[in-house]
Amino acid sequence: METKPVQFKNLSREESYGYDRKTLDYIRNAAAHGLYEIRGMGAKRKLPNFDDLVFLGASMSRYPLEGYREKCITKTLLGTRFAKKPIELEIPITIAGMSFGALSANVKESLGLAATEMGTSTTTGDGGMTQEERRSSKTLIYQCLPSRYGFNPDDLRKADAIEVVIGQGAKPGGGGMLLGQKVNPRVAKMRTLPEGVDQRSACRHPDWTGPDDLAIKIQELREITDWEKPIYVKVGATRTFNDVKLAVHSGADVVVVDGMQGGTAATQTCFIEHVGIPTLAAVRQAVNALEDLDMKGKVQLIVSGGIRTGADVAKALAMGADAVAIGQGVLVALGCNGETYFQNGAHHEAIADYNALGTAPGFCHHCHTGKCPVGITTQDAILEQRLSPAVGAKHLKNYLKTLNMELTTIARACGKQNVHHLEPEDLVALTIEAAAMAGVPLAGTNWIPGRGF
């Protein structure tokens, strides 16, 4: 699929495809340090993604809705299967789980403020719930992770829903990491760890080992919360068809599927780039699994991993997701990889701080160092002041609003009064790979690779 531009004037300067400069740099680094690279963000390699799909807008055979005037519902219900109190959101765009520890307390508060204003949910992360995020979030999803850092029944009872995290798209099969620079006194206390240790989270839950056990674990969480709260199960995308079926079998109200473009605050690069499947492929498998079990609409599906734009949201919904979750896009909206940060009423240059990390705006993936030049993925007392909760919330609210406007624009163009009415028949693919993965025809044909002619 990928062709690298190999530009050379004569054969004596021909770059090797297999041993290109990136690979040479990788080998030299490995030889110098004896340690794999750990970094933040998601897969950087070119992958089939939602950009490879386009919508078939209404024309003669379909009737569109007026772009700005006609109503287009975005309300989204999650957790209707068993929970007494399902989650009701104004928009189908939620904030993905990101830990206090990976993010500063200010950032967690920004997420809550913006999500609350937009009528959507935020999610805790490894390390537990902070007061800031509970206070600022009307709807807060509480993660139950393998590490159980900071996990406690009081916060469980305070949560609006519970998300049992089996895995993450950036590292399915792996636990989290938080390098010592970010384990400051508050983070250390919340996680019951010595300050400054390079924290390795467990990759397996401590008290259950398979789907039959998980069913009992989920029942425990329901019993403790008197069957009020929806229970989500989050999986990193790999054997998604089977994993989603098992999650449903275990009693999940909602399944969250995170593709390999999903971000992380600190993971081995080899893991980020080489384990897991693209979100596009995962959505199709997840929806197929729900349909196979006749659970579509009974168990809701949230998709995450590289959702950036309103078009991405619309495509995920059209393929069968009930909602999406966004992590990296949210951080970028807050200023991640920006050239400046806004503090005390003025913009300030952050270039020198990027340079000190050996990077530049637009390329930074140094979340793991805790030295985020724009104050997002940090626990440093000075750096964290570079993002105030109010400023962050304003930007994030604008971003979510834009996504929602784009989503409804596309839905109306496809003649839908409700964004949840978008369907696979509204989509075609631009590449054979995307057609095969998404299970929609190649544009201009009726051909879905793998389904005959």
| E strand intervals along 374-437 | 427-429
| Residue 164 C-beta: closest distance to another protein, Å | 13
CB 145 within 8 A of CB 115: no
Nearer to another protein, 75 or 189 (CB): 189
Task: Name the strand (E) or helix (H) holding 326.
Answer: strand 323-326
| Residue 206 C-beta: closest distance to another protein, Å | 4
Q: Structure tokens of 91?
A: 């928009």
| Residue 433 C-beta: closest distance to another protein, Å | 37
| Residue 214 C-beta: closest distance to another protein, Å | 11
Nearer to another protein, 2 or 154 (CB): 154
The CA distances from residue 273 to 33, 122, 441, in Å, are 20, 27, 28
Residue with tokens 């920004």: 110
| Residue 80 C-beta: closest distance to another protein, Å | 19
| Residue 219 C-beta: closest distance to another protein, Å | 6
Nearer to another protein, 203 or 293 (CB): 203
Nearer to another protein, 192 or 242 (CB): 192
Q: Where are the alpha helices (DSSP H) in 62-173?
A: 105-118, 131-136, 153-158
Give the closest residue to 166 by CA, choosing from 143, 192, 142: 143
| Residue 140 C-beta: closest distance to another protein, Å | 19
Chain positions contacting another protein, by CB under 8 A: 32-35, 38, 147-148, 151-154, 156-157, 179-180, 191-194, 197-198, 200, 202, 206-209, 213, 216-217, 219-220, 223-227
Nearer to another protein, 197 or 390 (CB): 197
- The Cα 289–Cα 283 span in angstroms is 10
Give the closest residue to 155 by CA, choosing from 134, 185, 180: 134
DSSP 239: S
CB 80 within 8 A of CB 253: yes
- The Cα 359–Cα 354 span in angstroms is 5
Nearer to another protein, 131 or 242 (CB): 131
Nearer to another protein, 176 or 310 (CB): 176
- 3-class secondary structure, 350: coil
